[in-house]
Structure 1
């Protein structure tokens, strides 16, 4: 066994007394934290939607610290709707904060954009000195906030993250605040990219997928049918006598019908299914892994849901119906988006010719 020389021991004692050993340990710790931050930031960039981004962030916080409360408030593009993810000790909760809080904070950060950076954890005490007491009243907050983090994009503040105190360990230290700033800076960029992409492939009026995107999805299902003999199907819907409806009640009321119909379609289907708007009053539904004998049942369920839909205008209850045409996507070599659309368009025509408010599957 090799003996430690007296010179080595002496050097060790000198380094310890001078504080160099502590400095080395601190540098090592900071380097490990830096590497960990880079690793987590790189992984966050690979998340493809808001749900997966939030889920990843929560999974990392469990390893580092647990806040008493954590709330994400994100504004949907082309909408005043606020998406909320509310956590208590990193456990999902059904609670939510009032949406007015988001807009108050958004207006403040947008008006003071030169003073605050995206992802920066701003102490609530600092904001309270600059904003009205009403914003931080119990009416707005059902939690005790410690930090407010703005998520700022090209068009201004698109999200707000609200942090409570840690349940263990006291205050957030410098390394933890550094971690938060870097993670939420990346989150803001990823969030903006995801929103911009979603905006580019969705119809501005209904929020449903556009014709071009939908055709790409049909092509994917055709390829899957050929390779794996999967059983997808597609439906085309058309609102019955919609021109007459618009002429009678006006196009603004017609737009309300389109928006409500889009919501009804989404609510009637599974998450893996896809709904698009082909223009005007024509909608399409792509059913993933739908057995041939189930296509008519699904179509009729959608038709019945639309029939029960109600739109109120000036105290008047308005209703519409739809005609539907559908078909299985075939694994044939000659199958194409054009041939599928032609087939369901013909089926839709049959539904209209046979009295409307009905389904025809070919």
Structure 2
């Protein structure tokens, strides 16, 4: 086909197109601007609540949970805002609960942390103390002066400290691995076995154990044993603390020996004091004794107290005789000789104590052979005073009833008693001597030295006593007063010596003419008095007549001459008729005597 060709100017077209483009661009820009404005306005109205919610969310997210979104409408945004606020409230409550829980938890954690910290510190402190204590205990055990050992049931040492090694003198190898029985005797092994059996029963003990060292020396240990148990409570081993008491035992033995010696010395001293006290008491009793019978009774009584296990015989020598008579005994089991000749006792011959410790081998006194020979020690103790023998004490030591067997023990007892026996015998001898001396002095004080009769002093004392007895018994007492007739003539014719001889002869005659219980006294000069207890007047007169008759028949040989035709006068009085007391009675008798003299002498006159 062909083509149509048209020609036009493109510049206008381009200009119009450009204008249209500019207009379109302008309108598009305006429309876009209005769209944007509309969009902005619409978006502002639509997103304002959301922005507010966003702001609230940001504030809440920053931690301010008190903020809430405003609910301005009831649309979806309002519902969202309400739901959001509710969620925030619940969140706030949850956070508050969580906060409270957290605070409580933190508080508890803090408290527990503090407790744990304190416990840890306490454990660390205890652990430190325990470590220190263990170290201290170990040091103490190792350096302890006492032995500490642990041994099993078979007595094998499982542990031993240095002191234990030192006690057993195992300085090089030590005790561990060794057995205790190696150091014990058989009886000590039995002791340890018995003690181990007690450990197995859960018992603890303190006992003494004697060990034997390698060199044979022995030691004594004080063992404090405690059982060691395992976790099941079964016996495992023995823990023992040992103390070396060897020296202490020696000291205790020495102290015990010293104590025994002291007690023995004290007992001996006490016994000596008791014996000395008894000797003093005996001496006091001797001072009060007034007769030989009392002396004998005192000797026997105190011999039983001072020599309770011994037999004591007391022999006394009567006057100057050559024999002694048994006067008393104590604890006498066999018959003894009643009389002993002076020559039959070695002690008397020697004038010294004679002790026979072993009668079977030693010489015994002849007087001991006459009866049953002694089988125990015997002592003969002479009672000598001022060179004069007064008697003999014979002491048989330790009779069979005392429970002591004859032999060295009894001999030792006799030896220990020697001084006491000698002292006892000396006291007895002195008492007898003093008594006889007192009696002699008393006799001299109450006796007339010329006639041997009682003197006037004794007469008055005795008469007063007899009258008191007579009052109680209601019986009479008669008194005869005698005077030698013409005595002065005899003195003038024959001298005073002859007169003394006559006085002695008359005194003997009167003494023979009265009863044994009557008392004859020389009243003075040529006067004599006779006290007749219990004799009535009539019998007293008869007794006086008898005296006068005996004197009438008296013949006295003196100087180659015979003195005879002696006569006496007598006055008689009786209690209570002639006097209520002794002066009145003597006065009545003297008055009667004067009457007899005045009536011609050689007669008896009774009191009115």
Q: TM-score normalised to the size of structure 2?
A: 0.41
Is 1:265 matched up with 2:507? no
- The Cα of 1:296 is off from its aligned counterpart by 1.8
Q: Distance in 2 between matches of 1:55 and 1:335?
A: 40
Is 1:342 matched up with 2:587? yes
Which residue in the other structure is 2:285 paired with?
A: 43
Q: Distance in 2 between matches of 1:93 and 1:315?
A: 47
- For residues 86 and 263 of structure 1, do their structure 2 counterparts lie closer, same or farther at Cα, with a shift above 3 Å needed? farther
C-alpha RMSD over aligned residues? 4.2
| Partner SS, residue 301 of structure 1 | helix
The answer to whether the Cα contact below 8 Å between 1:71 and 1:162 also exists between their aligned partners in 2 is yes
Is 1:293 matched up with 2:538? yes
- The Cα of 1:165 is off from its aligned counterpart by 7.0
Instruction: Kindly provide the CA deviation profile for residues 309-345 of structure 1, in whole angstroms up to 9, marking residues without a partner as x.
Output: 443223433333322111102278x734443233212
Instruction: Kindly provide the CA deviation profile for residues 163-199 of structure 1, in whole angstroms up to 9, marking residues without a partner as x.
Output: 4573745998221111122233344444444433443
- For residues 147 and 215 of structure 1, do their structure 2 counterparts lie closer, same or farther at Cα, with a shift above 3 Å needed? closer
Aligned counterparts, 1:84-103, within 5 A: 87-90=324-327
The answer to whether the Cα contact below 8 Å between 1:222 and 1:331 also exists between their aligned partners in 2 is no
The answer to whether the Cα contact below 8 Å between 1:86 and 1:93 also exists between their aligned partners in 2 is no
Instruction: Kindly provide the CA deviation profile for residues 270-292 of structure 1, in whole angstroms up to 9, marking residues without a partner as x.
Output: 45432222221111111112233
- For residues 32 and 282 of structure 1, do their structure 2 counterparts lie closer, same or farther at Cα, with a shift above 3 Å needed? same
Which residue in the other structure is 1:283 paired with?
A: 528
The answer to whether the Cα contact below 8 Å between 2:570 and 2:603 also exists between their aligned partners in 1 is yes
- For residues 304 and 52 of structure 1, do their structure 2 counterparts lie closer, same or farther at Cα, with a shift above 3 Å needed? farther
Which residue in the other structure is 1:232 paired with?
A: 477
Is 1:328 matched up with 2:565? no
- The Cα of 1:235 is off from its aligned counterpart by 0.6
Q: Distance in 1 between matches of 2:313 and 2:448?
A: 38
Which residue in the other structure is 2:394 paired with?
A: 166
Q: Distance in 2 between matches of 1:340 and 1:307?
A: 27
Q: Distance in 2 between matches of 1:253 and 1:304?
A: 21
The answer to which of 189-198 and 279-288 deviates more is 189-198
| Partner SS, residue 276 of structure 1 | strand
| Partner SS, residue 289 of structure 2 | coil
- For residues 287 and 324 of structure 1, do their structure 2 counterparts lie closer, same or farther at Cα, with a shift above 3 Å needed? same
- For residues 165 and 345 of structure 1, do their structure 2 counterparts lie closer, same or farther at Cα, with a shift above 3 Å needed? closer
Instruction: Kindly provide the CA deviation profile for residues 188-246 of structure 1, in whole angstroms up to 9, marking residues without a partner as x.
Output: 44444443344333333223333344234334444455555331111101112222222
Q: Distance in 2 between matches of 1:249 and 1:288?
A: 37
- For residues 24 and 281 of structure 1, do their structure 2 counterparts lie closer, same or farther at Cα, with a shift above 3 Å needed? same
The answer to whether the Cα contact below 8 Å between 1:229 and 1:331 also exists between their aligned partners in 2 is no
- For residues 248 and 356 of structure 1, do their structure 2 counterparts lie closer, same or farther at Cα, with a shift above 3 Å needed? same
Which residue in the other structure is 1:150 paired with?
A: 385
Instruction: Kindly provide the CA deviation profile for residues 241-264 of structure 1, in whole angstroms up to 9, marking residues without a partner as x.
Output: 222222222210110121232233
Q: Distance in 2 between matches of 1:323 and 1:273?
A: 19
Bigger fraction of residues in helix: 2
Aligned counterparts, 1:16-55, within 5 A: 18-20=260-262, 22-49=264-291, 51-52=292-293, 55=296
Is 1:246 matched up with 2:491? yes
Q: How many residues align?
A: 297
Which residue in the other structure is 2:118 paired with?
A: none
Structure 1 unaligned spans of 5+: 1-5, 74-81, 98-121, 128-142, 152-156
The answer to whether the Cα contact below 8 Å between 1:303 and 1:358 also exists between their aligned partners in 2 is yes
Q: Distance in 1 between matches of 2:266 and 2:274?
A: 12
Is 1:176 matched up with 2:404? no
Q: Which has the higher contact order (CA 8 A, sep 6+)?
A: 1
The answer to whether the Cα contact below 8 Å between 1:306 and 1:322 also exists between their aligned partners in 2 is yes
The answer to which of 274-283 and 85-94 deviates more is 85-94
Aligned counterparts, 1:114-129, within 5 A: 125=350
Structure 2 unaligned spans of 5+: 1-206, 208-251, 329-336, 353-366, 369-379, 398-413
| Partner SS, residue 89 of structure 1 | strand
